[in-house]
Structure 1
């Protein structure tokens, strides 16, 4: 492969990644709207689901959002019936955030079911080695994104 062919492929690949990123954001915005949330609240709900029990401070650390912003997110998620606050039994100054898991999973999954089926159908076309390659690519890409995000926040 010539240098110019590789540069062209890398350019096209980079453009596809940009489209993928934008399309992903727009997809999750559409899901959030169906749930009556904004996209930040929707993704924070996902982070809470995967890390519960969690404190507001921990959510702030994981997202990079200010504690004031996180308080607003939790207030909106609580008002929408997705989360609830409870006192930390070991430290009364702390509040633990938990998710009404059944409600969240039922409502969110109903909007993701078609997407999941389509992704499974596409991935069924790949063998295990190709899946491992994709997993490696996304895992390493996430590491780069996290590192670059931290750089932007300094």
Structure 2
């Protein structure tokens, strides 16, 4: 492969990644709108789902959002009926956030089911070695994204 061909491929791949990133954001914005949420609240709900029970401080750490912003997120999610707060039994000064699973699963999954099925059908076309390569790519890409996010916040 010539240097020019490789540079062209890397450029095209970078362009596809940019499109993928934008399309992903727009997809999640559309899901958020269906749920009556903004995109930040929607993605915070996803983080809460994967890390519950969670404190507001931990959510702040995971998202990089200020504690004040996180309080607003939790307030809106609670008002929408997706989460509830309860006192930490080990430290009554702390508040734990949990998800109303029936509501979250019922409403969120209704909007993600088609997407999940389409992604599964696409991924089934790859063999195990290709899946491992994709996994490595995304894992390393996430590391870069997180590190670059931290740099921007300094």
Gaps spanning 5+ residues in structure 1: where?
none
After TM superposition, the runs of 4+ consecutive aligned structure 1 residues lying more than 3 A away are none
* Residues 6-37 of structure 1: per-residue CA shift (max 9 Å, x gap): 00100000000000000000000000000000
Partner in structure 2 of residue 14 of structure 1: 14
Structure-to-structure mapping, 1:90-129, within 5 angstroms: 90-129=90-129
* 1:103 CA drift (Å): 1.0
Per-residue CA deviation, residues 94-145 of structure 1 (Å, 9 max, x unaligned), is 1000000121111111100110111111111111111111011001110111
Scaled by the length of structure 1, what TM-score is found? 0.98
Match of 2:139 in 1: 139
Distance 2:93 2:127 in 1: 51
Q: Superposition pairs for residues 1-154 of structure 1, below 5 Å?
A: 1-154=1-154
Aligned residues: 154
CA RMSD, 1 decimal? 0.6
SS of 2:60's equivalent in the other structure is: helix
Q: Secondary structure at the match of 1:86?
A: strand
Instruction: Give the superposition deviation at 1:147.
Output: 0.8
Unaligned 5+ runs, structure 2: none
Secondary structure in 1 matching 2:61: helix
**CA drift at 1:69:** 0.5
The separation in 2 between residues aligned to 1:78 and 1:136, in whole angstroms, is 36
**What TM-score, normalized to structure 2?**
0.98
CA positional deviation for 1:40: 0.2
Partner Cα separation in structure 2 for residue 113 and residue 98 of structure 1: 23
For 1:25, what is the secondary structure of its paired residue? helix
